[in-house]
Amino acid sequence: MRLCYNPAMSTLNPIIELVLASQSPQRSELLKLIGKPFHVEPANIDENKQKTELPHSYAKRLALSKALKVAYNHQNGSIVIGADTIVVQNDNVVGKPASNEEACQMLMKLRGNTHQVVTAVAIHYSKSGNISQELCETNVRMRNMTEEEVADYISTGDSLDKAGAYAIQNVKFQPAMPLGGCLANVIGLPLCHITRALRQNNIHVDNDIAEKCQDHIGYDCPVYTSILGS
């Protein structure tokens, strides 16, 4: 599958091909805010966790594997972004549910408690051969929803393709709130981390990216200055 996004006004050098190695519509919507043309090319890798693999290492491996697999198919000048988002509770990875029953079990374990959402990003620059890696972690507090609320949410089908069986941006369900961290990370793509990595590799991103992100997701981010200023 190859989907294209090409804003009418873009400052991206036309010789650069930007590729998002993910089929997530949430990631595509966030990446559009950068204002540069890109297309979507899912990597379709094996996402099984290795037995002794720690959560952060697991997310970083998958993000890098996605970027490298897609980058293999592109010529010099391409920039491939791979990302992987995981939910971590008590140092254990909570994956995507395989059924409604599993989704219910996940949400009941998460409810009323704090967990972490971790997104690893890997960016491959084919022209230089450089690889940027970023890791963003946000503490998330799940509200103490009722069993009926959980059942109603699961019946919508929204939980089946989500890590932890929920979408934090679901306005009707409103499952959780970030505790002072990056909300875009919880949705699936920490834009300020990507911006930092691109700038470090001489790729221009407009200075208003943080404001665009906050307007898009309706969130007053307390951490963007520390990320973009580092």
User: 195, exposed or middle or buried, with CB in 10 Å at 0-12, 13-18, 19+?
Assistant: buried
Q: Residues 10-35: pLDDT tens digits?
A: 444 445 789 999 999 999 999 999 99
Q: What are the residue numbers of the active site?
A: 84
CATH number at residue 121: 3.90.950.10
Rounded to two decimals, the pTM is 0.91
Range of the domain at 9: 3-228
pLDDT value, residue 230: 58
Q: Residues 146-173: pLDDT tens digits?
A: 999 999 999 999 999 999 999 999 999 9
Query: Rg for the chain (alpha carbons), in Å?
Result: 17
pLDDT value, residue 168: 96
How far is 13 from 114, CA to CA, in rounded Å? 43
User: Percent of the chain at pLDDT above 70?
Assistant: 93
pLDDT value, residue 10: 41
Per the structure block, which two tokens stand in for 146?
A: 């009722």
Count of domains forming the chain? 1
* Band of residue 217 on the pLDDT scale cut at 50, 70, 90: very high
* Band of residue 76 on the pLDDT scale cut at 50, 70, 90: confident
